[in-house]
Amino acid sequence: ETKEQSSSRKRKRDSDPAIVGAIDELIPSFPDSSMERLRILMGS
């Protein structure tokens, strides 16, 4: 497995691009980190 494949898999596990994109549209001021976005979204 290449590093690129590994990091791609990690990104997919971190968040769904469609969800992140929707959050970007709704709340552009959210942090850049997808995991931070999900934490805020889930209120944890």
Which pLDDT score is estimated for 25?
Answer: 73
Higher pLDDT, 26 or 18: 18
Q: CA–CA separation, 25 vs 44, rounded Å? A: 21
pLDDT, residue 15, reads 65
Q: Is 16 left (phi over 0), alpha (psi -120 to 50) or beta?
A: beta
- Check pLDDT > 60 for residue 11: no
Residue 29: predicted pLDDT:
61
Residue 9 scores a pLDDT above 70: no
Query: What's the CA gap between 1 and 21, in Å, rounded?
Result: 28
**Taking Cα atoms as reference points, which of 27, 9, 18, 11 lies closest to residue 37?**
27
Q: Which of 36, 13, 12 is nearest to 24 (CA)?
A: 36
